[in-house]
């Protein structure tokens, strides 16, 4: 076998292994790091929450969309007891390929949040021009070192309004 053939076999093998691992993750109990996972199969069902203060110091949590039933790890901020999620890079090629969950939430906003083995049924409400948007986005920027803490309210509202970033408030399930 020539060097070129060996290289081709190695590349094809790597692609098959990576693809198989990503498909297998769709059947796992939740995400693994940055890799999306399947529906939650473990945890204790709880009532919907409205006070998320206990998560203020957390860096990430897991949540699951309902259609399709996939899960992921996400950054969060808590402002005045309310929980917020953000999805960036939405108008980039990478964002359009990688960030599928916001589109799923636009179709069905029911989610499950899993924290320390407890599962909370919630909904996501997309925020566009609400008064809280600038302060929440600044808190995300400061917490995760995104470098835009000094942006004007107008600039933040323009970025969110243009869909570059999708900001969500976690609200109680109906």
What is the residue-level pLDDT of the chain in tens, covering all 174 positions? Answer: 898 888 888 888 888 776 666 665 566 778 987 888 999 999 999 999 999 999 999 999 999 999 999 999 999 999 999 999 999 999 999 888 889 999 999 999 999 999 999 999 999 999 999 999 999 999 999 999 877 778 899 999 999 999 999 999 999 997
Q: Are 66 and 112 in contact (CB under 8 A)?
A: yes
DSSP β-ladder status, 77-79 and 71-75:
unpaired
Q: Are 29 and 100 in contact (CB under 8 A)?
A: no
Give the Cβ contact number of residue 142 at 10 Å.
13
Torsion, Cα 98 104 109 111, to 10 degrees, reads: -60
Q: What is the value of pTM for the model shown?
A: 0.86
- E strand map for 10-81: 44-45, 60-65, 71-75, 77-79
**Both tokens of residue 145?**
């070192």
Give the Cβ contact number of residue 70 at 10 Å.
20
Give the Cβ contact number of residue 172 at 10 Å.
12
Give the Cβ contact number of residue 159 at 10 Å.
18
- E strand map for 12-87: 44-45, 60-65, 71-75, 77-79, 82-87
Residue recorded with tokens 């109680």: 172
């Amino acid at each position: 076998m020539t060097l070129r053939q060996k290289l081709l076999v190695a590349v094809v093998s790597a692609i098959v292994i990576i693809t198989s691992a990503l498909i297998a993750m769709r059947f796992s109990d939740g995400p693994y790091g940055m890799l999306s996972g399947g529906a939650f199969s473990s945890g204790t069902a709880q009532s919907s929450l409205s006070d998320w203060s206990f998560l203020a110091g957390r860096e990430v949590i897991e949540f699951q969309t309902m259609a399709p039933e996939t899960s992921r790890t996400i950054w969060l901020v808590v402002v005045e007891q309310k929980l917020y999620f953000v999805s960036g890079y939405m108008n980039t090629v990478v964002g359009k390929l990688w960030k599928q969950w916001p589109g799923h939430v636009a179709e069905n906003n029911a989610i499950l949040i899993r924290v320390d083995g407890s599962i909370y049924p919630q909904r996501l409400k997309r925020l566009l021009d609400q008064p809280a948007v600038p302060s929440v986005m600044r808190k995300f920027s400061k917490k995760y070192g995104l470098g835009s803490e000094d942006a004007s309210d107008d600039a933040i509202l323009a970025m969110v309004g243009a869909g570059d970033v999708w900001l969500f408030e976690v609200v109680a399930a109906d």
